[in-house]
Amino acid sequence: MRAVTDSSQRNYAFYRYLLLVVAALGEDSAKEAIELLRGVDESIGSSERAPKLALLQLDNEVDTGAKMAAEEWDGLVAAYWSRWSSKASVVTELEGVVAGDEGKRSRLHKLLEEKWHTAPVRTAQGF
């Protein structure tokens, strides 16, 4: 079990590094990174959560031209939640992704409230 945890942490560290590089290089790099992350997410499926989380985070850090439509972002959050909601850190991770974006924060809370009614989860945020 320890090896899986270490591997997951290294994988997420890679995605965080990618986000930092993209932020430094600008929007053209962001578009390439989005395609890269989508490809990785599709190829590994539901075995790892880091690519979806990185896509959600990257959407906050790119200029308007590379942003996802609200419906696409909401769908990605819903897919993330559906697969990983049993993990204790998911609400905190999603809260971190929407920090500073009140529109996304409001949509996230609405989504989590809807999901909570079908599958209750206890959190410090009250969802």
How confident is the model over 64-98, as pLDDT tens digits?
677 889 999 999 999 898 888 888 888 898 998 88
Task: Count the neighbouring beta carbons within 10 Å of the beta carbon of residue 2.
Answer: 6
How many of the other CB atoms lie within 10 Å of CB of 90?
19
Residue 41 included in any domain: yes
Q: Is residue 108 part of a domain?
A: yes
Query: Would 125 be classed as within a structural domain?
Result: no
Give Cβ neighbours of residue 10 (< 8 Å, ≥ 6 apart): none
> b/e map of 28-39 (b: 16 or more CB within 10 Å)?
ebbeebbebbee
Residue 123 maps to a domain: no
pLDDT recorded at residue 107 = 92
Structural domains counted in the chain: 1
Residues 95 and 60 sit within 8 Å (Cβ to Cβ)? no
Each residue's pLDDT tens digit, 19-30: 888 878 877 788
The residue behind tokens 């790099």 is 29
Determine, yes or no, domain membership for 124.
no
- Is residue 59 situated within a structural domain? yes
- Which three-class secondary structure state does DSSP give residue 40? helix
Q: What's the residue count for the chain? A: 127
Judge whether 8 and 50 are in contact, CB under 8 Å: yes
User: For residue 115, is pLDDT > 80?
Assistant: no
Q: Please report whether residue 127 resides in a domain.
A: no
Domain that holds residue 85: 2-118
